[in-house]
Amino acid sequence: MLKHRGFPGRLSGTDFQFTVRRANPKGASPITRRERYRDRRAPDRRADEAFMAALWQQFGDEPFERGNLDAGRLSWLFGREVLPAEEPFDPESYEALLVIDENAARASFPGAFEEDDWA
């Protein structure tokens, strides 16, 4: 499992996890598309925006390996702002390649693209 050095482990001051410390011996948790409803709590929305900002800061528009990124947090963005970068896509692989859909991400999280706002 690739560890993304320099990527924040969690949203500062919260328990919202962005990365996992070690690979699960039973295999990676699958990435699935989770529905984001309008009535989500503000802290959940802040965590999504901070995670997107960290992804953009780390990877930009280049494909990236899932590695130690948290499957649960990725699932909130998967299928909209974060897309598979390869076919066939294995949602249960630590080596799966993903890419940010910049247009969708900017529309959903405009604050994530402001300089130095992700830390």
* pLDDT band (50, 70, 90) for residue 106: very high
Q: How confident is the model at residue 15 (pLDDT cuts 50, 70, 90)?
A: confident
Task: Reply yes or no on whether the pLDDT at 115 is more than 70.
Answer: no
Instruction: Note the pLDDT tens digit of each residue in 82-105.
Output: 999 999 999 999 999 999 999 999
Q: What is the mean pLDDT of the chain?
A: 90
Question: 119 pLDDT exceeds 60?
Answer: no
The answer to whether the predicted template modeling score (pTM) of the entire model surpasses 0.85 is yes
> What is the rounded distance in angstroms from the CA atom of residue 83 to the CA atom of residue 99?
5
- Both tokens assigned to 22: 């070690």
Angstrom distances, CA of residue 60 to CA of 16, 68, 90, 98 = 22, 17, 22, 11
List Cβ neighbours of 44 (8 Å cut-off, separation of 6 or more).
16
Alpha-carbon distance of 4 to 1, in angstroms, equals: 9
Q: How many CB atoms lie within 10 A of CB 57?
A: 18
The full set of domain ranges for the chain reads 42-113
